[in-house]
Structure 1
Amino acid sequence: MGSEATAPAVPSAISPELLMAARGGKWDKLDELLSASTLPVVVNIEGTPPANPRPTVAAGLPLGLDSILHVVASSGDDANFLKSADVIHTKDKELLYALNSNGDTPLQCAARAGNIKMVSHLINHAINHGGNARLKEMLKNQNGKRTATADSPRPVPGDTALHDALRLADQKIRKEMVDKLLTFNVELASIESTDGTSPLYLAVMLEHYDIAKALYQKNKRLSYSGPDRQNVLHAAVLRNHDMTRNLLKWNMDLTKQRDGTMGSTPLHFAATWGKKYGWVVKLLLEKDESSAFQSDDKGSFPIHAAAVNMSPSIVQIFLKRHPSCGKLQDANGRTFLHIAVKEERTFLVKYACWREKPDMTAVLNIQDNAGNTALHLAAKLSNQWIFYFLIQNPHVQLNLVNKKGQTPLDIAWKRRPQGIIYVLDPRVRIHLLLKGAGAKTGSYKRDWFLDKHVRDKVDLSKLDKMITDSIQIIGVGSVLIVTVTMAAAITMPGGFRAAEDRYKGAAMLSDSTVFQLFIVANTVALVCSGLATMNVMFAGVATVDIRTRMSNFLLSILFLYCSSKALVASFLFGLYAVLPPTAMKIAYISSAIAAPFLVLDVLWFIFAVAFGEAMLFRRLGCIKWLRTLSFTRFPNFILEIKDVLEMPLPHKNKAVNSEVQGSGSDKEEKGLTAGRPGN
């Protein structure tokens, strides 16, 4: 009927009985309704038909309408549905090739639904009606956008029935469906979908490896492409070892093909995802060693991809097989070591710096396009652990100058905070250790660097606000400790002697050595917290000189720290004085729980300082290290107070500053290189 209508009219009212019969496989009712109807054999299953329908290419069906055969094909494949398809085919044989609004043939609808019997039935009808040639054309049909637009003058190809079959969940039906479709047209394995996805790529992505092998066995000229200009090897390297090996046997050119996103090769993909993909990195390098030297669109090589994602084991594979990979530089001139430092991959930097081989020695001092070595970047990032592993290697040069005229020491000096600082601040440790290692600054005129990068960093208003905000917390803590220690002195552990006792009112445990230690510790806590409170008061007075306030602030921190330690000690002594001998185990357990509070921070302090010194010792050797040993390199309270008192404050009058700098200051302000000899 549809073939007889040159301009089919859109039904004004769709018969629900017709749709119900098609969905339910009621072929007799369907035959009755179609015989009585004068309308095209179509039914709207997408809602209201469009106001101005345009005919599709294949069957003259209005957009938004599916033929009854499409509905039946997608609804089931038992005997009733097969008979329903026969009834519709008898009414209009061309509907077998008709496209619905999505560009699907009835066979594609059946394949997507997993109706294998219906697919076979429709294939038989196609052979009987149009022969093998027309069947192959029907099988090659791709759904998708079928109408021409200004942006797309030609129809956009989509998926074939084979693509739909590969997405089926049931393994048995999926395999049977794929075999059936390839039996009648093996060219389906070469047809790509809209975004370039080939059936082989889809099979590997969905981990249907048996089907992937079957596709290759049936058609050796199948497509290997994937979306975004990827190929099937991009997907396989992240999924299956055997499939990757098979693909490399089938097509070695896949190793060099780059995707459309960043120009990544399959080796970039494998190197990115870490240790568990080491096997595929080895396999790819074994089959194509040159792939390690193929960059992406940003100039990054696979070893850079491994460094970004913290894969020391992958980098190790590259360096063991091809040591020269370590010297590869990306578009910014960065080696894998630059990337590791920038991304703060500590263990990768450790591996690179402890690798005592000539090929790695050269990598340590390679400069990027900005002239920075890995040590420059470590000083800029202020990551002390990365810095430690770099400086311990004697081959790392300390005085290379970047394009701004800066050595690593200049950067560390610039990064070093001014004013009140934490004694273990990584920026301070890096600066001190560089000086201890013998690092030098760039060549500058007089105190230009100090005025440019040190004095300007001291913001007195921020420093004042920091002190004001901090003393509130310290003041509360010190007052609380004063209150606790005074309360402990009034309510002694063990109580007081009775009135009838000769020493009435005296503490019951006054003869105990542990109790006496409790008294001493409590007194120390009281005195230190009182001194902390007094210093906090001076630090909070705005009329006091800023250096004096900073010194008082530091003193308050020191006294508060000592009082907290003494308070814990008094707690332990008091607990131990009243519990034994009746509860020795509880006394020991309580002491073991509280005691670490007294030593853990000290142990951490010792470790943090000793580790840096050990790295410096490793670089310099025993004799040179002893010669450079200085107490200024060890954080201590006296030096911190001294630094505060000698801290260079910013000039209050810029005119004075420029006068001090001299007539050449304008030229020097342009950059560090202006102060270098010869400029």
Structure 2
Amino acid sequence: MESINTEQQTPTGEDGSVSPPEPPPTSVVMDPTLLMAASMGHCEALKTLLNWGDAPVWPKAPQIIVQVPVDGDALDLSITNRSLDTQHQASTGVVNEGGGDQPTAPSAESLFEGVTPLGDTALHVLAKSAYSSRENFLDSVFVVYNKARHLLDKPNKLGDTPLHCAARSGSVKMVYCLLELAKGEGGDIDRVKSFLRKQNMRGETALHSAIRQRKIDIVILLLMEDSQLARIPSEGMSPLYLAVMLQEFYIAIILHDKDNQLSYSGPDGQNVLHVSVLKSRGTLLCLEEGFTFMQYFL
């Protein structure tokens, strides 16, 4: 039996995934100021950017003031945000290099349509940060969501939603934050399940991402919100198959105990029994009116 590569590959659509999302259309490049603010979890900077849509606070571009040297004096450069009277400048020999009309502030809606080369939105950037558990990143997610709610389950070019990225970053706080946003004020269960069951181009949900990172706390959190999440996909690499393949047998037991009708499927027509034989330690599955767990220790 061939060995199985657990590293993330470029999606090919050949792994048995079910109805993978279509690649997003070509989009505008993310504003560098927004990218910087999201990458750093700079909540106040994001608030400033977002206020453009309602009450523009676009900062005036700094004016570069060049003091023309006289009689061999050194060239004097200074930067100010204050406008100078042009007649006074002319009379004093000061030349304003930064004059002219101020740039028009973009609306919050158009600002958040920008993406990175991978197709990541501002929420993706926040969710996948190594520091996404910090309070400033969590606060920033709420700021972005309140202005662009459609970004919550928008996929990037790999089909990953911000929830996929949060689970992959290993941040249970960020996962919880996104789930709370999905619930909304009405606590719509169907909305949350739809959010959780989003599949990327490989046919994987956020549960797969949590298993790959061996984050038991995130696995449990996701299953608490949707006990049947391990049934997806019904074809292709199931969460149970992935857990056994990675020899994360405790996670495999959690998945099975939560839902005994979960999917046992694997890629290329395989199932969990194939990979459990390949990984001949810790847990085996036997066929007896369906698969039943038999745990043993060497």
Tell me the amino acid that sits aligned with residue 252 of structure 2. Answer: A
After TM superposition, give the deviation of residue 35 of structure 1 in Å. Answer: 2.4
Q: CA deviation at 1:240?
A: 3.6
The structure 1 segments of at least 4 consecutive aligned residues displaced by more than 4 Å after TM superposition are: 8-11, 251-255
Q: Is the contact between residue 163 and residue 206 of structure 2 (CA under 8 Å) also seen in structure 1?
A: yes
Secondary structure in 2 aligned to 1:158?
coil
Deviation at 1:198, TM superposition (A): 0.8
Is 1:86 matched up with 2:142?
A: yes
TM-score (norm 1): 0.29
Corresponding position of 1:159: 204
Higher helix share: 1
User: Contact (CA 8 Å) 1:190, 1:198: kept in 2 or not?
Assistant: yes
1:192 paired residue number: 233
Q: In structure 1, what is the equivalent of residue 98 of structure 2?
A: none
After TM superposition, give the deviation of residue 74 of structure 1 in Å: 1.2
What is the CA–CA distance in structure 1 between the aligned matches of 2:119 and 2:212, rounded to whole Å? 25
Distance 1:200 1:114 in 2: 19
What stretches of structure 1 of length at least 5 have no aligned partner? 1-7, 47-63, 145-156, 256-278, 280-679
- Structure 2: where are the runs of 5+ without partners? 1-24, 53-105
- Structure 2: distance between partners of 1:20 and 1:83: 16
- Is 1:28 the counterpart of 2:69? The answer is no
Match of 1:41 among 112, 115, 119: 112
Q: C-alpha distance in 2, partners of 1:44/1:209?
A: 38
Does the Cα contact within 8 Å between 1:19 and 1:43 map onto a contact in 2? no
Q: Give me the whole-angstrom Cα distance separating, in 2, the residues matched to 1:179 and 1:70.
A: 22
Q: Deviations over 1:384-441 (max 9, x none)?
A: xxxxxxxxxxxxxxxxxxxxxxxxxxxxxxxxxxxxxxxxxxxxxxxxxxxxxxxxxx
Q: SS of the residue aligned with 2:156?
A: coil
Q: TM-score, normalised by structure 2?
A: 0.65
Structure 1 position 19 matched with structure 2 position 90: no
Give 2:191's match in structure 1, choosing from 130, 134, 151: 134
Structure 2 vs 1, CA of residues 81 and 237 (structure 1 numbering), >3 Å: closer, same or farther?
same
Contact map agreement 2:236 2:268 (CA 8 A) in 1: yes
Q: Per the alignment, do residues 14 and 210 of structure 1 end up closer, same or farther by CA in structure 2, a change over 3 Å counting?
A: closer
For these two proteins, the number of residue pairs brought into alignment is 211
Once residues 177 and 222 of structure 1 are traced to their aligned partners in structure 2, the CA distance between those partners, rounded to angstroms, is: 18
Within 5 A, what are the aligned runs for 1:324-403?
none
1:142–1:158 Cα contact (<8 Å) kept: yes
Q: Which residue of 2 aligns with 1:327?
A: none
| Deviation per residue, 1:62-106 (Å, 9 max, x gap) | xx5322111111111210000000100111222212222222221
1:248 maps to which of 281, 286, 295: 286
- What amino acid maps onto 2:42 in structure 1? K
Instruction: State the AA in 2 paired with 1:134.
Output: R
State which of 252, 257, 272 in structure 2 corresponds to 1:232: 272
> Take 1:98 and 1:10, find their aligned partners in 2: how far apart are those partners?
13
Report the alpha carbon displacement of residue 10 of structure 1 after superposing the two structures with TM: 4.9
Distance 1:176 1:137, change over 3 A: same
Q: d(CA) in 2 for partners of 1:28 and 1:93? A: 19
Which is higher, the Rg of structure 1 or of structure 2?
Answer: 1
Q: 1:102 to 1:95 in 2, by over 3 A?
A: same
* Cα distance, 1:242 vs structure 2: 4.7
Compute the displacement of 1:15 (Å): 2.6
Equivalent residue in structure 2 for 1:113, among 169, 183, 187? 169
1:368-399 Cα deviation digits (max 9, x unpaired): xxxxxxxxxxxxxxxxxxxxxxxxxxxxxxxx
CA distance in 1, matches of 2:208, 2:114: 26
Aligned to 2:158: 102
How large is the Cα RMSD of the aligned pairs?
2.5
User: 2 CA distance for matches of 1:100 and 1:77?
Assistant: 21
Match of 2:92 in 1: none
